[in-house]
Structure formats: C-alpha cells, structure tokens
Amino acid sequence: MREGKKNIMVSVVVPVYKVSAYIERCMASVMRQTYDCFECILVDDATPDDSIEKCKALIEQYDGPINFRIVSHERNKGLSAARNTGTRIAMGDYILYVDSDDEISSDCIEKLAAPVERDNTIDLVVGNVEERSEGSRGAVSMPKKHEQADLRTNDEVREYYYVKKNIETTAWNKLIKKDMITRFSLFFNENLYWEDAPWMFYVMQHVSHAYLINDVTYIYHRHPGSITTSLDTKRMLVYKGHIYEEITNHFSKVDSKREARFYIRGFCLNYIESPESRLYAQAARKFKKELSFRHDLHNRSLLLATTMMRKTWPGRQLFHYIVRFALNTR
C-alpha cells in the first residue's frame, strides 16, 4: 500500500492497422488527457495505408508531456500480436489497451489511475463504456453500467464477472498491472480472432484485487470495417468455435461450473447456426460434464435441445425456436 497520493506510470498501447479514417480521432483523445504521467506506444502492424504517417505528423506538432513511441512489425501479424509487442516493451506499471478506431475520455487515465495511486495492490481498474455508431451524433447505447466497487478477493472478482456480469469481456478500457501480465504470461493468443474473450477468461483466474469506477472512460465506435461486421457468418462461427475450444479446454479446477454457466448461452446461440464442426461438438461435451441436472437444469436443457436440433431436419426447425426463445427471454 502506498502512503499518500503518487502518480503511477501508465503505458497506453495502440495497435495501428488500416485506420486512416479514425486514427486522428484516437490520437487526439490520447493527447488531451488530463493525466500526464504516461507513455503511448503505437504499434504499426505493417499497415498499408497512411495511418502511421498521420500519427507521425500529429506527434511532430505535439509539444506536451506525453512520450510517444512507434514500433513497427515487418509484416502484418494481427491485433493480438500488436498488443503483445506493445506490452513487452512497455515501461509503465500499468497497461491500458486502446483500439485505434475508438477514443478515450479526456480524463480516462486520471480516473482509472486514481484508485491505484491510493492502493497499488490493485491488479485491475475498470471504467464504463459509451457506444456510438458511425454517423450517429450521440451514444447508440450504454452497455450495462456498473457502480463503484472495490473487489478484494479473486472470488469477489469472479462473482462480478461470471454471475453479476458487471465487467465487460473486452481488453480495452481496463487498467491492468503489467507485472501480473508478465508473471502469469497473460499475453494474447495470436492464433485467435475475438482474442478478448479467452484473454479475459485467463485474467479472471489471477486478479485478486479489482476496482470498478462508475465514470465513462471509453468511447467504443461501431463501424462497417470492424471484424464483426466484415466477416461472413460461416467464417465467424468457425472462429468462435476455436474460442469455445480454448475456453472449455482450460476450465479452472476450482470454478469450472461458474465458468460453464457464464459461457453456455453464447455457445448455444452460435452452435445453433454453426457448420458441422468437431470444435462445437467437443465443447458441447465439456459443457455437459460441468452442468448437472440438479443445479443447472435450465442450462443443461438448453444444451440438450441445441444438440438434438442439429441431428434431424424437423428437430432443427422445432428446437431452433425453442432454444432461441429460451435464450432471449432470460
């Protein structure tokens, strides 16, 4: 525990790839921070457009206290690899991941760093998020907003994530202790899309002290170029199959049932539409093992209905509606 208030060093990691239309907005939000004890690492993931040139031009004009660094990949490696590169060279006590097509509030780092300045035993600080769509003047929606909370045990943290669902399944908008990342090798899987889900799954196994603030610190922009809007449904479902394979293969020994309950609804929704895939079939068997009839009858029934739906055409028609109705009404 630190005595009094002391600035902590933060490393902001921003992967850059094909974001010419958005990078200046992101950079402007970083440059106008009210907190100045931080560095910003821009990871050029071999972007073919002028995104990095725009960054360099803005940095050249900037005369403030922020230390900007640009590191480049020789070839495109993907978002996970770019985040990992930035994390490995970061000099800060804490890491803040920012996607280059989003922006942060002007007091984002100040708000997220405040709890840690009082108590450096905190592993993770989480803010609230505002969502906007391209072409919209204001927020499209405000994801479920959490209130301030000081979670001092891993069990409390996992309760908020898996049961109360008050922590977003995203890497961004979280101030995370670098020492915890390196000590437990909490780097992103560079072979997966939607890498945030398995990353958070592993992070939740190790966070022993988290702090939630009720301020909005991150503005998430939905736009046509994002992965979720540009991939066709079949490929998207295959990629998600790999995510569920990763998670079900690594259910924790002490909390596997709570983890299974958290992921089962999303799994069923994707399994309904998925192409024939051993990944989903294997994951389904592992979910079944963790969900008992006595304590998880509803979830077990959903899984059974989803599995039966796929075996015959009439079954698919009938159970398609049953499962979707059950999932969407809970």
pTM: 0.89
Which pLDDT score is estimated for 263? Answer: 96
> Looking at per-residue confidence, does 294 or 317 come out higher?
294
- The residue-averaged pLDDT of 58-63 equals 97
Contact 147, 236 (CB under 8 A): no
Q: Where are the domains of the chain?
A: 10-228, 231-328
pLDDT digits (tens, 9 = 90+) for 93-121: 999 999 999 999 999 999 999 999 999 99
Out of 19-28, 227-236, 246-255, 279-288, pick the least confident: 227-236
Q: Domain 10-228: give its CATH architecture.
A: Alpha-Beta Complex (3.90)
Instruction: Please identify which residue in the block is written with the tokens 């097509």.
Output: 101
Which tens digit of pLDDT belongs to each residue from 253-294? 989 999 999 999 999 888 887 766 788 999 999 999 999 877
Report the pLDDT value the prediction gives residue 133, as an integer from 0 to 100: 82
| pLDDT bracket for residue 251 (50, 70, 90) | very high
Q: Distance between CA atoms of 103 and 220, rounded to whole angstroms?
A: 7
Q: What is the band of 3 on the pLDDT scale with cuts at 50, 70, 90?
A: very low
228 vs 166: CA distance, rounded Å = 22
Decide if 323 contacts 266 (C-beta within 8 A): no
Average pLDDT over residues 297-314: 76
Cα 88 from Cα 115, distance rounded (Å): 24
Q: What pLDDT score was predicted for residue 5?
A: 56
pLDDT tens figures, 46-55? 999 999 999 9
HSE, CB side, 13 Å, CA atoms: give it for residue 142.
Answer: 9
Q: For residues 17 and 36, give the distance between their C-alpha atoms in angstroms, rounded to a whole number.
A: 26
pLDDT in tens, 135-188: 655 545 556 688 899 999 999 999 999 999 989 999 999 999 999 999 999 999
* Average pLDDT over every residue of 206-229: 86
